[in-house]
Amino acid sequence: MDNIVKIDNVSFEYIQDGLESKALDNISLNIKRGEFVVIIGHNGSGKSTLSKNLNAIFKPTKGNIYIKGINTKDDSKVWDIRQSAGMVFQNPDNQIVATVVEEDVAFGPENLGLDPGEIKKRVEESLKFVGMYELKNKPPHLLSGGQKQRVAIAGIIAMKPDVLILDEPTAMLDPSGRKEVINTIKKLNKEDNITIIHITHFMEEAVDADRVIVMEKGKIVMQGPPREIFTQVEKLKELGLDVPFMTELAYELKKEGLDIDSDILTVDEMVINLCQ
Ligand code: ADP
Ligand code: MG
Protein backbone atom coordinates (compact mmCIF):
# COMPACT_ATOMS: atom_id res chain seq x y z
CA MET A 1 0.00 0.00 0.00
CA ASP A 2 1.28 3.46 -0.81
CA ASN A 3 1.75 6.22 1.73
CA ILE A 4 -0.84 8.78 0.74
CA VAL A 5 0.35 11.08 3.54
CA LYS A 6 4.04 11.44 4.35
CA ILE A 7 5.15 13.67 7.19
CA ASP A 8 8.94 14.01 7.33
CA ASN A 9 10.56 15.62 10.40
CA VAL A 10 7.99 18.37 10.59
CA SER A 11 8.17 21.22 13.06
CA PHE A 12 5.84 24.20 13.14
CA GLU A 13 6.21 27.45 15.03
CA TYR A 14 3.60 30.14 15.54
CA ILE A 15 4.97 33.65 15.69
CA GLN A 16 2.96 35.89 17.98
CA ASP A 17 4.06 39.35 19.11
CA GLY A 18 7.49 38.56 17.72
CA LEU A 19 7.76 35.44 19.89
CA GLU A 20 8.06 31.97 18.42
CA SER A 21 6.24 29.05 20.02
CA LYS A 22 6.75 25.52 18.83
CA ALA A 23 3.45 23.71 18.24
CA LEU A 24 4.85 20.73 16.30
CA ASP A 25 8.18 19.28 17.29
CA ASN A 26 9.87 17.06 14.71
CA ILE A 27 6.97 14.83 13.74
CA SER A 28 7.35 11.98 11.28
CA LEU A 29 4.40 9.85 10.25
CA ASN A 30 3.28 7.90 7.21
CA ILE A 31 -0.36 7.09 6.54
CA LYS A 32 -1.37 4.44 4.04
CA ARG A 33 -4.18 4.77 1.52
CA GLY A 34 -7.39 3.49 3.05
CA GLU A 35 -6.12 3.68 6.61
CA PHE A 36 -8.39 4.94 9.42
CA VAL A 37 -6.25 6.93 11.85
CA VAL A 38 -7.49 8.59 15.01
CA ILE A 39 -5.42 11.30 16.69
CA ILE A 40 -5.93 12.00 20.38
CA GLY A 41 -4.08 14.27 22.76
CA HIS A 42 -4.58 16.84 25.47
CA ASN A 43 -5.70 20.38 24.60
CA GLY A 44 -2.81 22.29 23.09
CA SER A 45 -0.88 19.16 22.10
CA GLY A 46 -0.77 20.26 18.45
CA LYS A 47 -3.56 18.24 16.82
CA SER A 48 -5.24 21.15 15.05
CA THR A 49 -1.90 22.61 14.01
CA LEU A 50 -0.98 19.27 12.45
CA SER A 51 -4.30 18.99 10.63
CA LYS A 52 -3.92 22.49 9.18
CA ASN A 53 -0.43 21.60 7.99
CA LEU A 54 -1.83 18.54 6.19
CA ASN A 55 -4.20 20.72 4.22
CA ALA A 56 -1.64 23.46 3.35
CA ILE A 57 -3.45 26.04 5.49
CA PHE A 58 -0.08 26.19 7.25
CA LYS A 59 3.31 25.16 5.87
CA PRO A 60 5.89 23.38 8.06
CA THR A 61 8.56 25.65 9.50
CA LYS A 62 10.94 22.68 9.18
CA GLY A 63 10.57 19.40 7.29
CA ASN A 64 8.07 18.47 4.59
CA ILE A 65 4.61 17.02 4.15
CA TYR A 66 3.59 15.15 1.01
CA ILE A 67 -0.01 14.43 0.05
CA LYS A 68 -0.08 11.88 -2.80
CA GLY A 69 3.54 12.77 -3.36
CA ILE A 70 2.88 16.52 -3.66
CA ASN A 71 4.83 18.73 -1.26
CA THR A 72 2.44 21.06 0.59
CA LYS A 73 5.06 23.81 0.17
CA ASP A 74 4.52 23.77 -3.62
CA ASP A 75 2.36 26.91 -3.94
CA SER A 76 1.30 26.02 -7.48
CA LYS A 77 -0.35 22.83 -6.13
CA VAL A 78 -2.35 24.23 -3.20
CA TRP A 79 -5.68 23.43 -4.86
CA ASP A 80 -4.57 19.90 -5.76
CA ILE A 81 -3.69 19.39 -2.10
CA ARG A 82 -6.96 20.87 -0.81
CA GLN A 83 -8.90 18.69 -3.27
CA SER A 84 -6.98 15.52 -2.30
CA ALA A 85 -7.04 16.20 1.44
CA GLY A 86 -10.41 17.67 2.39
CA MET A 87 -10.99 19.04 5.83
CA VAL A 88 -13.98 19.15 8.18
CA PHE A 89 -13.83 21.43 11.21
CA GLN A 90 -15.44 21.44 14.62
CA ASN A 91 -18.08 24.11 14.20
CA PRO A 92 -20.67 23.17 11.55
CA ASP A 93 -21.89 26.76 11.34
CA ASN A 94 -18.53 28.09 10.18
CA GLN A 95 -18.33 25.72 7.24
CA ILE A 96 -21.63 26.24 5.52
CA VAL A 97 -21.55 29.02 2.96
CA ALA A 98 -24.81 28.79 1.00
CA THR A 99 -28.45 29.30 1.96
CA VAL A 100 -29.65 25.99 0.51
CA VAL A 101 -28.13 22.56 1.26
CA GLU A 102 -27.50 21.49 -2.35
CA GLU A 103 -25.91 24.84 -3.23
CA ASP A 104 -23.57 24.44 -0.32
CA VAL A 105 -22.46 21.00 -1.50
CA ALA A 106 -22.00 22.38 -5.04
CA PHE A 107 -19.59 25.05 -3.83
CA GLY A 108 -16.46 22.85 -3.87
CA PRO A 109 -17.06 21.19 -7.26
CA GLU A 110 -17.87 24.63 -8.73
CA ASN A 111 -14.50 25.88 -7.52
CA LEU A 112 -12.86 22.91 -9.23
CA GLY A 113 -14.31 24.26 -12.50
CA LEU A 114 -16.32 21.14 -13.31
CA ASP A 115 -19.10 21.32 -15.87
CA PRO A 116 -22.68 21.76 -14.58
CA GLY A 117 -23.78 18.20 -15.40
CA GLU A 118 -20.89 16.71 -13.45
CA ILE A 119 -21.51 19.11 -10.55
CA LYS A 120 -25.16 18.09 -10.35
CA LYS A 121 -24.24 14.40 -10.42
CA ARG A 122 -21.65 14.78 -7.67
CA VAL A 123 -23.96 16.86 -5.46
CA GLU A 124 -26.66 14.22 -5.78
CA GLU A 125 -24.30 11.31 -5.10
CA SER A 126 -22.67 13.02 -2.12
CA LEU A 127 -25.97 14.01 -0.51
CA LYS A 128 -27.29 10.48 -0.98
CA PHE A 129 -24.09 9.04 0.53
CA VAL A 130 -24.44 11.06 3.75
CA GLY A 131 -28.21 10.52 3.88
CA MET A 132 -29.14 14.17 3.31
CA TYR A 133 -30.60 13.99 -0.20
CA GLU A 134 -34.21 14.38 0.97
CA LEU A 135 -33.25 17.65 2.66
CA LYS A 136 -31.40 19.08 -0.34
CA ASN A 137 -33.67 22.11 -0.65
CA LYS A 138 -33.60 23.04 3.02
CA PRO A 139 -31.84 26.09 4.39
CA PRO A 140 -28.88 24.78 6.44
CA HIS A 141 -29.76 26.85 9.51
CA LEU A 142 -32.85 24.67 10.02
CA LEU A 143 -30.75 21.50 10.30
CA SER A 144 -29.44 19.80 13.44
CA GLY A 145 -25.71 19.90 14.22
CA GLY A 146 -25.24 16.33 13.02
CA GLN A 147 -27.08 17.08 9.78
CA LYS A 148 -24.97 20.19 9.20
CA GLN A 149 -21.76 18.21 9.67
CA ARG A 150 -23.04 15.62 7.19
CA VAL A 151 -23.68 18.43 4.69
CA ALA A 152 -20.13 19.70 5.32
CA ILE A 153 -18.82 16.16 4.67
CA ALA A 154 -20.94 15.92 1.49
CA GLY A 155 -19.37 19.19 0.30
CA ILE A 156 -15.91 17.68 0.72
CA ILE A 157 -16.65 14.27 -0.82
CA ALA A 158 -18.22 15.99 -3.84
CA MET A 159 -14.63 16.98 -4.64
CA LYS A 160 -13.61 13.30 -4.60
CA PRO A 161 -10.83 13.55 -2.05
CA ASP A 162 -8.40 10.74 -1.22
CA VAL A 163 -8.03 11.81 2.39
CA LEU A 164 -10.58 13.27 4.79
CA ILE A 165 -9.20 15.13 7.80
CA LEU A 166 -11.72 15.80 10.56
CA ASP A 167 -10.74 18.07 13.45
CA GLU A 168 -13.10 17.25 16.33
CA PRO A 169 -16.14 17.11 14.02
CA THR A 170 -18.34 15.73 16.79
CA ALA A 171 -17.27 18.02 19.64
CA MET A 172 -20.30 20.30 19.35
CA LEU A 173 -22.87 17.58 18.66
CA ASP A 174 -25.32 15.70 20.85
CA PRO A 175 -24.92 11.89 21.10
CA SER A 176 -27.25 11.13 18.17
CA GLY A 177 -25.51 13.74 15.97
CA ARG A 178 -22.18 12.23 16.93
CA LYS A 179 -23.35 8.80 15.90
CA GLU A 180 -24.60 10.10 12.51
CA VAL A 181 -21.24 11.68 11.78
CA ILE A 182 -19.18 8.70 12.96
CA ASN A 183 -21.27 6.27 10.91
CA THR A 184 -20.81 8.49 7.85
CA ILE A 185 -17.03 8.58 8.32
CA LYS A 186 -16.85 4.81 8.77
CA LYS A 187 -18.93 4.25 5.65
CA LEU A 188 -16.66 6.54 3.61
CA ASN A 189 -13.65 4.58 4.75
CA LYS A 190 -15.19 1.14 4.14
CA GLU A 191 -17.10 1.70 0.92
CA ASP A 192 -15.00 4.37 -0.83
CA ASN A 193 -11.61 3.49 0.69
CA ILE A 194 -11.13 7.12 1.69
CA THR A 195 -8.25 7.58 4.09
CA ILE A 196 -9.51 9.03 7.36
CA ILE A 197 -7.59 11.18 9.83
CA HIS A 198 -9.99 11.79 12.68
CA ILE A 199 -9.09 14.01 15.63
CA THR A 200 -11.30 13.49 18.65
CA HIS A 201 -11.46 13.64 22.41
CA PHE A 202 -14.13 10.93 22.57
CA MET A 203 -12.13 7.76 23.16
CA GLU A 204 -15.04 5.54 22.08
CA GLU A 205 -14.63 7.01 18.58
CA ALA A 206 -11.10 5.62 18.41
CA VAL A 207 -11.97 2.02 19.22
CA ASP A 208 -12.51 0.94 15.60
CA ALA A 209 -9.55 2.81 14.11
CA ASP A 210 -6.70 0.98 12.39
CA ARG A 211 -4.25 3.09 14.35
CA VAL A 212 -4.41 5.51 17.25
CA ILE A 213 -1.85 8.30 17.47
CA VAL A 214 -1.30 10.10 20.75
CA MET A 215 0.14 13.60 20.72
CA GLU A 216 1.67 15.54 23.58
CA LYS A 217 3.49 18.89 23.43
CA GLY A 218 3.81 18.79 19.64
CA LYS A 219 5.23 15.28 19.51
CA ILE A 220 3.83 11.82 18.78
CA VAL A 221 4.27 9.98 22.07
CA MET A 222 2.38 6.74 21.39
CA GLN A 223 0.96 5.02 18.34
CA GLY A 224 -0.50 1.62 17.59
CA PRO A 225 -3.73 -0.36 17.23
CA PRO A 226 -6.49 0.81 19.62
CA ARG A 227 -6.21 -2.22 21.89
CA GLU A 228 -2.48 -1.76 22.30
CA ILE A 229 -2.88 1.95 23.12
CA PHE A 230 -5.92 1.86 25.39
CA THR A 231 -4.69 -0.97 27.57
CA GLN A 232 -1.90 1.35 28.72
CA VAL A 233 -4.34 2.98 31.12
CA GLU A 234 -1.72 4.39 33.52
CA LYS A 235 0.32 5.96 30.74
CA LEU A 236 -2.74 7.58 29.19
CA LYS A 237 -3.82 8.92 32.57
CA GLU A 238 -0.38 10.47 32.97
CA LEU A 239 -0.97 12.23 29.66
CA GLY A 240 -4.27 13.52 31.00
CA LEU A 241 -6.31 11.28 28.70
CA ASP A 242 -9.23 8.98 29.28
CA VAL A 243 -9.67 5.47 27.94
CA PRO A 244 -12.91 4.06 26.50
CA PHE A 245 -15.46 3.62 29.29
CA MET A 246 -15.45 -0.19 29.11
CA THR A 247 -11.64 -0.29 29.26
CA GLU A 248 -11.74 1.92 32.36
CA LEU A 249 -14.39 -0.32 33.94
CA ALA A 250 -12.35 -3.47 33.23
CA TYR A 251 -9.28 -1.76 34.67
CA GLU A 252 -11.14 -0.83 37.89
CA LEU A 253 -12.75 -4.28 38.24
CA LYS A 254 -9.38 -5.95 37.80
CA LYS A 255 -7.92 -3.66 40.48
CA GLU A 256 -10.70 -4.83 42.79
CA GLY A 257 -9.58 -8.40 42.21
CA LEU A 258 -12.03 -9.56 39.57
CA ASP A 259 -10.62 -12.06 37.08
CA ILE A 260 -11.25 -10.15 33.90
CA ASP A 261 -9.30 -9.42 30.69
CA SER A 262 -7.60 -6.04 30.77
CA ASP A 263 -7.88 -5.43 27.04
CA ILE A 264 -11.62 -4.82 26.82
CA LEU A 265 -12.73 -1.99 24.52
CA THR A 266 -16.47 -2.44 23.94
CA VAL A 267 -19.70 -3.35 25.74
CA ASP A 268 -19.91 -6.60 23.76
CA GLU A 269 -16.45 -7.64 24.88
CA MET A 270 -17.34 -6.80 28.48
CA VAL A 271 -20.48 -8.93 28.31
CA ILE A 272 -18.61 -11.90 26.85
CA ASN A 273 -15.92 -11.55 29.49
CA LEU A 274 -18.32 -11.37 32.43
CA CYS A 275 -20.56 -14.19 31.21
CA GLN A 276 -17.99 -16.79 30.27
P1 ADP B 1 -4.85 21.06 19.92
O2 ADP B 1 -5.63 21.11 18.65
O3 ADP B 1 -4.21 19.73 20.19
O4 ADP B 1 -5.65 21.52 21.10
P5 ADP B 1 -3.36 23.27 18.80
O6 ADP B 1 -2.73 22.76 17.55
O7 ADP B 1 -4.56 24.12 18.66
O8 ADP B 1 -3.61 22.06 19.79
O9 ADP B 1 -2.29 24.12 19.61
C10 ADP B 1 -0.94 23.71 19.78
C11 ADP B 1 -0.15 24.82 20.46
O12 ADP B 1 -0.07 25.95 19.58
C13 ADP B 1 -0.78 25.33 21.74
O14 ADP B 1 0.23 25.64 22.63
C15 ADP B 1 -1.52 26.58 21.31
O16 ADP B 1 -1.60 27.50 22.35
C17 ADP B 1 -0.64 27.09 20.18
N18 ADP B 1 -1.43 27.81 19.16
C19 ADP B 1 -2.50 27.34 18.50
N20 ADP B 1 -2.96 28.24 17.61
C21 ADP B 1 -2.15 29.33 17.73
C22 ADP B 1 -2.10 30.61 17.08
N23 ADP B 1 -2.98 30.92 16.13
N24 ADP B 1 -1.13 31.46 17.46
C25 ADP B 1 -0.24 31.14 18.42
N26 ADP B 1 -0.21 29.95 19.05
C27 ADP B 1 -1.15 29.07 18.73
MG1 MG C 1 -7.67 21.46 18.31
**128 belongs to a structural domain:** yes
Q: Does the Cβ of 213 fall within 6 Å of ligand 1?
A: no
- CATH (domain of 215): 3.40.50.300
d(CA 42, CA 65): 23
Q: Answer yes or no: is the C-beta of 189 below 6 A from any ligand 1 atom.
A: no
Decide if 64 contacts 237 (C-beta within 8 A). Answer: no
Give start and end residues of each alpha helix (H) in 130-244.
145-157, 175-192, 226-230, 233-238
Give the E-state strand segments of the chain in sequence order: 3-16, 19-32, 36-41, 62-67, 70-71, 85-88, 163-167, 195-199, 211-216, 219-224
SS3 229: helix
Nearest CA to ligand 1 atom 1: 44
End-to-end alpha-carbon separation of the chain, Å? 39
Separation of CA 212 and ligand 1 centre (Å): 21
Report yes or no on 13 lying in a domain: no
Per the structure, the complete domain to which residue 169 belongs is given by 35-60+78-226
Mutate to test the pocket of ligand 1, among 15, 16, 21 (most ligand atoms within 8 A of CB): 21
Please check whether residue 164 is in contact with residue 191, taking contact to mean a CB–CB distance below 8 angstroms.
no
Residue 250 lies inside a defined structural domain of this protein: no
pLDDT score of 276: 77
Q: Report if residue 209 sits inside a domain.
A: yes
Contact 217, 183 (CB under 8 A): no
Domain contains 7: no
DSSP three-state, residue 123 = helix
Predicted model pTM: 0.95
Which residue has its alpha carbon closest to ligand 1 atom 21?
A: 14
In a domain, 137, yes or no: yes
For the Cβ of 46 lying below 6 angstroms from any atom of ligand 1, the answer is yes
Domain-embedded: residue 134:
yes
Residue 56 falls within a domain, yes or no? yes
- Per-residue model confidence (pLDDT) at position 92: 87
Q: For residue 94, how many other CB atoms are within 10 A of its CB?
A: 9
Ligand 1, atom 27: closest residue by C-alpha: 14
- State residue 1's pLDDT score: 52
Ligand nearest to the CA of 44: 1
Q: Which residues of the chain have pLDDT under 50?
A: none
Amino acid occupying residue 134: E
Please state the domain count of the chain.
1
Atom of ligand 1 nearest to the CA of 43: 4
